[in-house]
Chain A
Amino acid sequence: MHEMSIVVSIVEIAESEAKKANAEKITEMELDIGTVSGIEIDALNFAFDSIKHKTMLKDAEIKINIIEAKSICEDCKYEFKTENVYTLCPQCDSYKTSILKGKEMKVKSITTN
């Protein structure tokens, strides 16, 4: 389950920034996660819940912004919403599609006190 290493990275980013600001704890954290980023939100939450008690995010409210994926067809230039990376172009059936959006995995912001 790679989500644990993802969570450890998230905690390291958040804690290092909070410490720079001399904060004692993090009260909120906002993440951007794309639907085709390769991160399972349920696995992410599960991994986070199992380690948060020993981090500065112990009592933090976590907001996850799910970024819906969008693809473009390289043949007919049609842009469409998608749930995966292998859907054929709904307009011309081409498989030459590329993801425009939905691969995001970011710590957007933290709130400290």
Chain B
Amino acid sequence: MCITCGCEGNENEIKMTVFGEKSETKHNEHTHSHGHHHEHSHSHEINLETNILNQNNLLAERNRGYFEAKNIFSINMMSSPGSGKTTLLEKTINDLKNKVQLYVIEGDQQTMNDAERIANAGAPVIQVNTGNGCHLDADMINKAVKKLNVKNDSIVFIENVGNLVCPSLFDLGESKRLVIMSTTEGEDKPVKYPTIFENADICIINKIDLLPYLNYDIEIAKNYALRVNHHLEFIEVSATTGEGMEKWYEALLKMQKTQE
């Protein structure tokens, strides 16, 4: 049964394509064998107390172990569509690719467009097309990271599906979680979509080059975000002009180093 609509058909295929290689399509692997069972005459209660996301969380921990063993720093990037995740990555790859080995797992419902942009920027990339799925999960990351053949001591960026709701519940095994807000959105995004901000470690506020043309108040936005998560750290950037990007690189490389 697929996780996007519960169907047992093939409409909701998860597609993984390493940029530059032939694509491979497969349905999310859920087996449903309804075998023969012996009749029981009496009913009985089974106490479970099982976390609903147990399966995902176990797989996420496996990914985390894989990353740790290979000294890979992984970062789960989440935001609404259009906040500048891919542009931020392109700029980051351009500026850091000679310092550290970078990889990207691109999550989108459809198209190879983002993978193409990342490949052009110069990083190995795998595109995960979730079909109708609204988020990446630990199983997709487990497969994607193996296909990418990630080297030790590298950084893996996981660009989640642009969505401020669903990705927040699914642990991917990442080292850190990054949420991106942009100045063209409302300042109150953090309180409208609190879960994603609550579970993030860092918050990038992008498109600060547009501030003179907008009514966006960066302090109001930060204040809302701090109400949701008072541990959140902010970095203000413009991925287009490069303003503030040095601070982001410094924070990124520091986080990678601290993990060692």
* Pairwise interchain contact A95-B52, C-beta atoms closer than 8 A: no
Q: Which of B1, B51, B195 contacts A8 (CB 8 A)?
A: B1
Q: DSSP majority for the A interface?
A: mixed
Asked if B42 lies at the interface with its beta carbon under 8 angstroms from chain A, I say yes
Contact residue among A19, A85, A109, A112 (Cβ-Cβ distance under 8 Å from B47)? A109
Q: Which single residue of chain B is at the shortest CB-CB distance from A50?
A: B6
A86: shortest Cβ distance to chain B, in Å? 4
- Report yes or no: A86 in contact with B230, Cβ–Cβ below 8 A: no
B122 close to chain A: CB less than 8 A: no
Inter-subunit contact A107/B40 (CB<8 Å): no
Identify the interface centre among A4, A22, A109, A111: most chain B CB within 10 Å of its CB. A4
Instruction: Kindly provide the distance from the CB of A17 to the nearest chain B CB, expressed in whole angstroms.
Output: 6
Pairwise interchain contact A112-B40, C-beta atoms closer than 8 A? yes
Inter-chain CA distance A108–B50, complex, in Å, is: 6
Complex Cα distance, B137 from A54, in Å, reads 24
Min CB distance B170 to A, Å, is: 8
B: number of interface residues (CB 8 Å): 51
| Mask: chain B, 44-60; 1 = CB below 8 Å from A; 0 = not | 11111111111110000
Q: How far is the CA of A74 from the CA of B231 in the complex (A)?
A: 12
Contact, CB under 8 Å: A110 / B37 = no
A105 near B52 (CB under 8 angstroms)? yes
Q: Are A113 and B52 in contact (CB under 8 A)?
A: no
Interfacial chain B residues near A38, Cβ < 8 Å: 165, 168-169, 195
Total contacting residues, chain A, CB less than 8 A? 48
Please, how many angstroms separate the alpha-carbon atoms of A11 and B50 in the complex? 12
Given A2-B170, A105-B53, A106-B52, 11 more contacts at CB 8 Å? A4-B3, A4-B4, A5-B133, A6-B52, A8-B6, A86-B194, A95-B230, A106-B49, A107-B50, A109-B46, A112-B43
- The 3 A-B pairs of least Cβ separation, nearest first, read A51-B6, A2-B166, A5-B3
Spell out A's residues near B (CB within 8 Å).
1-2, 4-13, 17-19, 21-24, 27-28, 31, 36, 38-39, 47, 50-51, 54, 56, 74, 84-88, 95-97, 105-113
- What are 10 inter-chain pairs, A to B, with CB distance below 8 A? A2-B169, A6-B52, A23-B37, A23-B40, A24-B38, A28-B45, A95-B227, A105-B51, A109-B46, A111-B46
Please list the residues of chain B having a beta carbon within 8 angstroms of any beta carbon in chain A: 1-6, 8, 30, 34-35, 37-56, 133-135, 137, 165-166, 168-170, 190-191, 194-195, 198, 223-224, 226-230
